[in-house]
């Protein structure tokens, strides 16, 4: 169906853009289910942490949708990170296997004729390996938003997938980014994205 759709639309000078949600995946996804079942390979796809010594959550981070950003990881006694809904488990981009899977997904759709990709909240993929408590909501956001490693992730994804076709258009949804970083994300010489958007205009 997608192959037919992209081909027919392309005949009429219309191309298809798909939304790539790479910061997190559904807790119903096979990766998460395999992790829950004890597969250590897939457990490394996620931010799994034990509670603190006093039994409290791994960090005091808050979900953007309200409440703690941690939920119980089955009966393991550990917790998994979800910056958004509890059904959306954050993927650990420090793991090369996660980055390779992301490139495979983009390339899968490229072969189906898709010519555009929108990357959902991509600039929150750059969390530290060592997660620490925040001191206030503003500082907390800086612990995982717009960190320098995001540029490295984008360059790698670009080279391994959509950057191989100069006709492809990309757009990044960048949460609370700066103008400086917006320029870096979209500078052609940096080989990251075609364009980005943020939500600051909605908050003025």
Supply 53's token pair.
């010594």
Estimate to the nearest angstrom the gap between the alpha carbon of 22 and the chain centroid: 3
Catalytic site residue from 92, 140, 146, 173: 173
146 carries an active-site annotation:
no
Which of 15, 85, 101, 120 does the annotation list as catalytic?
120
Q: What is the pLDDT along the chain (204 residues), one digit of tens a residue?
A: 999 999 999 999 999 999 999 999 999 999 999 999 999 999 999 999 999 999 999 999 999 999 999 999 999 999 999 999 999 999 999 999 999 999 999 999 999 999 999 999 999 999 999 999 999 988 999 999 999 999 999 999 999 999 999 999 999 999 889 999 999 999 999 999 999 999 877 777
Q: Which residues contact 15 (CB under 8 A, 6 or more apart)?
A: 6, 9, 114, 115, 116, 169
Give the CA dihedral 64, 69, 72, 73, nearest 10 degrees.
90
pTM flag (> 0.85): yes
Residue 34 annotated as catalytic = no
What is the three-class DSSP state of 126?
A: coil
């Amino acid at each position: 169906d997608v192959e037919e759709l992209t081909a027919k639309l392309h005949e009429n000078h219309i191309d298809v853009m798909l939304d790539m949600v790479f910061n997190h995946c559904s807790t119903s996804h096979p990766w998460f289910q395999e992790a829950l079942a004890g597969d250590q390979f897939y457990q490394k796809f996620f931010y799994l942490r034990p509670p603190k010594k006093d039994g409290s959550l791994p960090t005091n981070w808050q979900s953007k949708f309200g409440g703690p950003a941690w939920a119980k990881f089955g009966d393991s006694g550990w917790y998994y990170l979800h910056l958004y809904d509890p059904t959306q488990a954050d993927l650990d981009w420090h793991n090369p296997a996660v980055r390779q899977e992301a490139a495979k997904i983009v390339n899968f759709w490229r072969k189906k004729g898709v010519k555009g990709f929108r990357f959902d909240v991509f600039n929150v993929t750059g969390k530290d390996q060592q997660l620490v408590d925040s001191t206030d909501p503003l500082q907390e956001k800086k612990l995982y938003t717009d960190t320098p490693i995001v540029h490295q992730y984008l360059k790698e994804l670009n080279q391994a997938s959509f950057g191989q076709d100069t006709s492809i258009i990309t757009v990044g949804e960048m949460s609370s980014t700066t103008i400086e970083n917006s320029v870096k994300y979209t500078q052609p010489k940096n080989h990251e994205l075609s364009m980005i958007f943020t939500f600051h205009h909605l908050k003025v």
